[in-house]
A and B are shown apart, each in its own frame.
Chain A
Amino acid sequence: MMARLRVNGQEHVLDLPAGERLIDVLRDRLGLTGTKQGCRAGECGACTVLVDGRPMQACIMLACRVHGEVRTVEGLGERFMPLRQAFADEGGFQCGFCTPGQLMRAAALLAEAPLERLGDEAWLREQMNGNICRCTGYCGIIRALMNEDVRTLARDLRGEPAVTEGGFQA
């Protein structure tokens, strides 16, 4: 089947078997190995990418059915550097394998969640419940999301019009 996929702002036209999953297209055909496979059953969140800004699991998506704009960790851009730095400063990762999925899920939250909710730790934990981490115990991840610079980023994401080049399209 012919599929037209937009990934990180670039368009790809691919002839794919109907049963090929988005994660395999990203990793094997497009060389974007930042998206990790933890379970291939939609149960761990490691493969979370954004499709039109919504957090979805690439391992259980069929690539030829994806019609929206796909963003992977490689496409987060400079805009999200405060988030990456917060993860580094607050202990949001140790082995790093779940980190791309955590970052993508977090990016969606920062762009979409009601601002006042971003200060609600219990709510944040529920919202991150689709991303398993075996190393950190989640404390560092939540601290990163509640970090001052990250809150500023969240405010900025709402204040500005959608950025089309090199940055994240909310």
Chain B
Amino acid sequence: MAPIGTRTRHVDWMAITDGSAGYAADLRLEGELAAAVLRSPHPHARIVSIDTSRARALPGVHAVLTAADVPETLYLDYRVMDRDRRILAADVVRHVGEPVALVAADDAETAARALDLIDVRYRRLPVADTVAKALSPSAPAIHPHPEERNVAARVRRDLGVAPQGAPASAHSVRASYSSTRQTHATMEPHTVKAYWKADEKCLHVWAPSQNPRLIHRDLAQLFGLDTSAVRLHQLAIGGDFGGRTQISGTEALVCALSLATGRPVALHQSRAEEFAFTKWRLAWDMDLALGCDAGGKVTTLQASFDVDNGAYNQAGPGEMVYGSVALGSSYRWLGYQADGRCVYTNRVPASSFRGAGGYAINWALECAVDELAEKAGIDPIDFRLANAVGDEHEVSLTGWEIKSSGLRRCLQAVREGIDWDARRRQGGKGRGVGVACTIHVTALSRDYMLRSSCALDIDGRGHVIIRSGCGDAGTGQKTLICQTVSTILGVPLDRISIVTTDTLVTPHDAGAGASRGSFVAVNAARTLASKVRADLSAVALDHFGIGDGEPDWADGVVRSGNHVMELGELALLAGSAQGYSAQTEYVGASHDPDPRGYEDISPTYSFAAHAVEVEVDEALGTVKVLKVVAAHDSGTILNPLSARGQVEGGVVMGLGAVLGESLIFEEGRVVNPSYADYVLPRPADAPPIETIFVDVADSVGPFGSKGLGEIPLITIGPAVTNAIAHATGLRLRTAPHTPDQIVTAARRRDGKSLRAGSIAARPDRWWTAAVRTAYPRGLHKGLRLLSERVGRPRPAGRIETIRPAAGIDEALDLLHEGGADAPIAGGTDLLALETQGLPLPGRLVDIAGLGELRDIETRDDGSLRIGSSVTLADLAESAACDPVLRKTAALIATPQIRQAATVGGNLCQTKRCWFFRNGFDCYKRGGATRPCYAVMGDHRFYHSIQDAHRCQAITPSDLATTLVALDAEIEVRRSGGVRRVAAEHFYEGPGETGLASGEIVGAVEIPAQARRRRSAYRKLALWQGAFAIATACVSAELSGGRISDLRVALGGVGPVPVRVHRLERMLRGQRPDPTAIEAGIAAWMKGTHPLRDNHWKAFATADLLRRTLSDVLERPS
């Protein structure tokens, strides 16, 4: 038995943990063709012509489609007036990545080659890739239809008293907030398959989604098919979070290809495409004005906001409209006015994201309320207790009628859980606590969200098969549905199975989203099971010959007094020889949206309060979340196991949004489309989370439950921002709170300089400075346009051959004679380059297994020799290696990477500039006529602050920094020869070694003298193991209380590792004296020449260096 309310394992736990759960990519369709999508490289352009003839002629290509070959029908959106998106671009492309043509071919490689053969001529149009540009008077009209240029939707709210009519506020806050550009980044990339079976006249589709019926309906209408002619199949779904809640684009593209070819077609989106071309959360820029009276009671709230919609509507306007109501719903305002615009920009469309528009508005509002409480001199929790909407039977200014509420209990629970009162007294010294609370909907009371059917079949053995149209992307509806049926029919869980999604056998389901998943699914299941129980009870009683009564249902048996019947028997009796089937529909009370926004918008409301403790390092800009206490009122908890998971997962996703995640755009194109550069939380960053459910059964929700899926994500962000304020006094108004923001804000608060470096006295930097000044004044644009005329970038590389070698000499001979172009050891960078479509040497010789290269040897003279094929994992664990080397290696990447990656590979890896790696045709990729995108683009973390010329990238090797500080020599081997080069001189440019053709790194050698010194290493990075923002290694010899010898190396600050000679000279012979150290660091900093936005990095590196020096010089001997 697994009754509602008990901890119950996920019904698919066995398949999920033994690898047999079937996701879309795991399915193999006989004769499957591979799809490829030609996407616009421009953010805004007119399509002048498309010539597909060469692509069509390529053997192995089955179809090439353009807009002329697919229906002109628009995608559905939640509101009719929002429908503006076609399957393929016809005349105009409005964002980088917009699909222009489709190919179906025998395999992925052929499909990719076919794409290259499609000739599209574009005429560029002016670009409005930000909200500011889109709203400027000279902005191009991205769509012709809006009355207000580039405004996709407008919303105004005016509830309660007007500002003039309100009592004067004794305290007020006016502030502007900008929220993050977060993307779902589900672990499963979009993978869709379709098969138009002409003989059945049925379009079979495998498309993971937590809202399968929306996909189903939209595909049918797009292709003019009856819904019965489209069949969505059951699949395991690798996450959704709103990213697949509504049809994206991929589904229709694949269906179009299958309809054209009559063959099964599969589209596998790469991770880079996933980041770059799928939906992201709407980003809000919001101005808030709010006040309270002298007694601390809130008065009025005014808001104006602009929301970045991207180029097309994909639920954007709907989320903004909801958000504009939610904003006024959580406090007892006397008046609330809002004015908002959902703005078209030449970016990939934004869309539904966990929170339904609540995340961004709650973040801004809870931060502003916190500021208001501070001004009023009232404790933040007390302020919320006094003002937040959350009493039973209360009605908010927006018409939300509270049924049950545990809000105040949640606030009390976090107060105790984080030891609030004691910690609040200790703010301002780098540690702080913050709080936030939320109210959120459990579904919206709209017909399409609250109408759901469920069906079941019972066979002769009493086994129950439930049929639900839902799609469970991990949120747990499947298990809850089974628990519900198990509870009501008294059938053990192991006799219940469930089929979902399949439109042939499951009835319509409202899908998940707006926290309605469990509410609707459980209601549908409960309605069904209750009816089944009632109907079958009547049959049983009749069979027993009893008049009336309530039979007992338990353990798959129906009992009344001494009369007993097995459920299987009863099913055969009530049904037929095949068993018994039933289907019912749950219809929740719904109503149309109110144009003013005043309505009881949801069946019932959930509440939450989160308290967070953080530790902020103002000099490095890092924020460590020490503890989260998350208290939730979601009514009766139907499955404590999955409920806790929703809270923990939502909290961590929210931490990602507030501390690290942001899609970075440059000219409408995503710059950081990878897990390495899109900073989402990993286990080492995630804090301990205490989850508390306050037990308040709701009167409306099934079994007393309320929604839970989104509210944890909506609550945590502002709690963190408020905790940072408590720790530092800094009120941050832009998320994510990355290190650059914190360092700069702290320095500004303290009146410290925000600019590092001085080139006034450095004529050697004047030319570079002049070029940098010219970039935004036309030089960048000119170089970019020139590069488009001067040929194409170098083609992507492929690994063609790998030659084994019996020994190092054979390997070197191969390289010398031209049998191979380069060595391969761990291959971690080479294979990544191949995935990223970058050029790479295709003919390789394998040196990973060569014994001579894998030794770690301490020699008689005390020096250390490490072979170039020693893995980072082995280096990190080797007792023979110096601790500073081991630490350096242990902080590189991840355990899995370290098992493969080698010392030589780490030293030789290609630069990691995210423009270079992600398809920007820059100077280093295509030659001298091309610009460096980092000059004007986002260079805050991974670009030079000193010595850079044309290229701003840095050398990504962490080992290089430490080896420089240890006077290491790199042994370079070639056929018939060996040479040595000091680590300090190994690099000629960022990630560009001085190795000539035919040469490889054989070993690194650290002299005994260096090993006798005291050494320390520190690394600054966005996540543990990430590529470094900066590294520092200091190695010193002390004798007689003086620094007799010193090496100071910095990585990540210049094109090559920097040895800070000047600082060394200044300190050599001195006592370790803070004044001298500061003077040395200042001298170093004066020589930097940061870019526009990475001055913070010079200050942070100075502090990193200061600490590393201190590690060495203040160590007890």
A residues contacting B by CB (< 8 A) are 1, 18-19, 21, 27, 32-46, 48, 54-57, 59-62, 64-65, 67, 72-74, 76, 84, 87-89, 91, 93-100, 103, 105, 121, 124-142
Q: Give the one of B17, B21, B241 with max A CB within 10 A.
A: B17
- Taken together as a complex, chains A and B put the C-alpha atoms of A64 and B674 apart, in Å, by 27
The answer to the question of B13 belonging to the interface, with a C-beta cut-off of 8 Å to chain A, is yes
Report if A41-B26 is in contact (Cβ < 8 Å); known contacts: A73-B18, A137-B648, A139-B648: no
Chain B positions within 8 Å of A141 at CB level: 683
Return A82 CB to nearest CB of chain B, in Å: 11
Asked if B25 is at the interface of the complex by the 8 Å CB criterion, the answer is yes
| CB-contact partner of A130 in B800, B844, B894, under 8 A | B894
For residue B843, which residue of chain A has the nearest CB? A18
- What chain A residues lie within 8 Å of B800 (beta carbons)? 18-19
B680 sits at the interface (CB 8 A): yes
- Contacting residues, chain B, for A96 (C-beta < 8 A): 10, 12, 16-17, 21, 236, 238, 474
Q: Known contacts being A19-B798, A43-B676, is A134 close to B836, with CB within 8 Å?
A: no
Please state if B900 and A44 are interface contacts (CB–CB under 8 Å): no
* Known interface pairs A37-B25, A41-B835, A131-B683; 13 further A-B residue pairs with C-beta atoms within 8 A, sorted by A's residue number: A33-B22, A33-B26, A43-B675, A43-B676, A62-B827, A73-B18, A89-B9, A96-B16, A126-B1024, A132-B680, A136-B649, A137-B651, A139-B686
A91 x B641 contact (CB < 8 A): yes
Asked whether any CB of chain A lies closer than 8 Å to the CB of B897, the reply is yes
Q: Are B846 and A56 in contact (CB under 8 A)?
A: no
B223 at the interface (CB under 8 A from A): no
Q: What CA separation (Å) do A93 and B7 show in the bound complex?
A: 14
Q: How far is the CA of A103 from the CA of B849 in the complex (A)?
A: 28
Beyond A19-B799, A134-B186, whether A94 also contacts B642 by CB under 8 A is yes
- Evaluate contact between B683 and A129: CB separation under 8 angstroms: yes
- Is B653 on the interface with A (CB-CB < 8 A)? yes
The answer to whether A55 touches B237 (Cβ under 8 A) is no
Partner of A93, one of B16, B271, B831: B16
The answer on a CB contact under 8 Å between A62 and B683 is no
Among B18, B648, B893, contact of A136 (Cβ-Cβ < 8 Å): B648
A74 to B16, CA, bound (A): 11
Report yes or no: B684 in contact with A126, Cβ–Cβ below 8 A: yes
B189 part of interface (Cβ distance < 8 Å): yes
> Are A18 and B19 closer than 8 Å at their CB atoms?
no
B237 touches A105 (CB 8 A): no
Q: Are A41 and B686 in contact (CB under 8 A)?
A: no
26 residue pairs of the A-B complex, CB under 8 angstroms, read: A27-B26, A37-B25, A37-B189, A39-B271, A39-B674, A42-B896, A55-B896, A62-B831, A65-B827, A73-B17, A74-B19, A88-B13, A95-B240, A95-B473, A103-B17, A105-B896, A125-B684, A126-B683, A131-B683, A132-B682, A133-B187, A134-B241, A134-B649, A135-B239, A137-B681, A138-B686
B238 touches A95 (CB 8 A): yes
Residue numbers in B under 8 Å from A133 (CB-CB): 187
**Which residue of A46, A61, A126, A135 is within 8 Å of B827 (Cβ)?**
A61
Q: Is the CB of A97 within 8 A of B23?
A: yes
Listed residue (B189, B238, B688) with the most chain A CB atoms within 10 angstroms of its CB = B238
Min CB distance, B653 to chain A, in Å?
7
**Quick check: A127 and B895 within 8 Å, CB to CB?**
yes
Contact, CB under 8 Å: A135 / B802: no
Closest residue on chain B to residue A123 by CB atoms: B684
Map CB proximity to A onto B1-33 as digits: 1 under 8 Å, 0 otherwise.
000000101101110111111110110000000
Residues of B within 8 A of A43 (CB): 271, 674-676, 832
Total A-B pairs, Cβ < 8 A: 241
Decide: A135 and B649 in contact? CB cutoff 8 A: yes
Complex Cα–Cα for A19 and B14 (A): 34
Query: In the complex, which residues of chain B have a beta carbon less than 8 angstroms from the beta carbon of A130?
Result: 893-897, 1025
With A43-B675, A60-B828 as known contacts, state yes or no: A18 contacts B799, CB within 8 Å.
Answer: yes
| CB-CB contacts below 8 Å: B1013-1041 with A | 1024-1025
**Min CB–CB distance B130 → chain A (angstroms):** 28
Which residues 138-193 of B have a CB within 8 angstroms of A? 184-189
Minimum distance in angstroms from A116 CB to a CB of chain B: 16
B395 sits at the interface (CB 8 A): no
Which of B828, B896, B900 is close to A45, meaning CB atoms less than 8 Å apart?
Answer: B896
> With A33-B19, A89-B9, A95-B238 in contact, is A138–B895 under 8 Å at CB?
no
Task: List the 10 shortest-distance A-B pairs measured between CB atoms, nearest first.
Answer: A34-B19, A130-B894, A95-B474, A97-B238, A137-B652, A94-B474, A96-B16, A19-B799, A137-B648, A73-B19
Q: Across the interface, which residues of A come within 8 angstroms of B12, CB to CB?
A: 96
Q: Across the interface, do B683 and A95 meet the contact criterion of CB distance under 8 Å? A: no
Q: State whether A42 touches B895 (Cβ < 8 A).
A: no
User: Are the C-beta atoms of B799 and A38 separated by less than 8 Å?
Assistant: no
- Contacts of B674 on A, CB cut-off 8 Å? 39, 41, 43
B739: interface (CB < 8 Å): no
CB distance from A69 to the nearest CB of B (A): 14
Residues of A within 8 A of B873 (CB): 54
- The answer to whether B683 and A128 touch across the interface, beta carbons within 8 angstroms, is yes
A44 — nearest CB in chain B belongs to which residue? B675
* Contacts A91-B644, A129-B895; A97 near B188 (Cβ below 8 A): yes
Instruction: Return B690 CB to nearest CB of chain A, in Å.
Output: 10
| Alpha-carbon separation in the docked complex, A40 to B365 (Å) | 40
A134 and B831 form a contact (CB under 8 A): no
* Chain B residues within 8 Å of A56, by CB: 896, 899-900
Q: Which of B639-656 contact A (CB under 8 A)?
A: 641-642, 644-645, 648-653
Q: How far is the CA of A148 from the CA of B1025 in the complex (A)?
A: 29
Asked if residues B270 and A40 are in contact (CB atoms below 8 Å), the reply is: yes
Is B475 an interface residue, CB under 8 A from the partner?
yes
Query: Within the assembled complex, what's the spacing in Å between the Cα atoms of A38 and B835?
Result: 12
Do residues A34 and B896 form an inter-chain contact, with CB atoms below 8 A? no
Please determine whether B828 and A42 come into contact, CB atoms closer than 8 angstroms: yes
Interface centre among A46, A133, A134 (most CB of B within 10 A): A134
> Which of B19, B185, B895 sits near A134, CB closer than 8 Å?
B185
With A40-B270, A61-B900 known as contacts, the answer to whether A45 contacts B641 (CB < 8 A) is no
Given contacts A96-B21, A99-B16, contact A46 B187 (CB under 8 A): yes
A125 CB contact (under 8 Å) in B476, B644, B686? B686
Nearest-Cβ distance from residue A15 to partner chain B, whole angstroms:
14
Contacting residues, chain A, for B680 (C-beta < 8 A): 132, 134
Shortest CB distance B236–A (Å): 6
How far is B651's CA from A137's CA once the two chains are assembled, in angstroms?
7
Q: Does B1009 contact A (CB under 8 A)?
A: no
Contact with A94, one of B18, B21, B476, B798 (Cβ below 8 angstroms): B476
Q: Which residues from A are CB-within-8-Å of B831?
A: 21, 41-42, 59-62
- B799's partner among A34, A62, A128 (CB-CB below 8 A) is A62
* B187, A38: Cβ atoms closer than 8 Å: yes
Q: Which residues of A contact B801 (CB under 8 A)?
A: 18
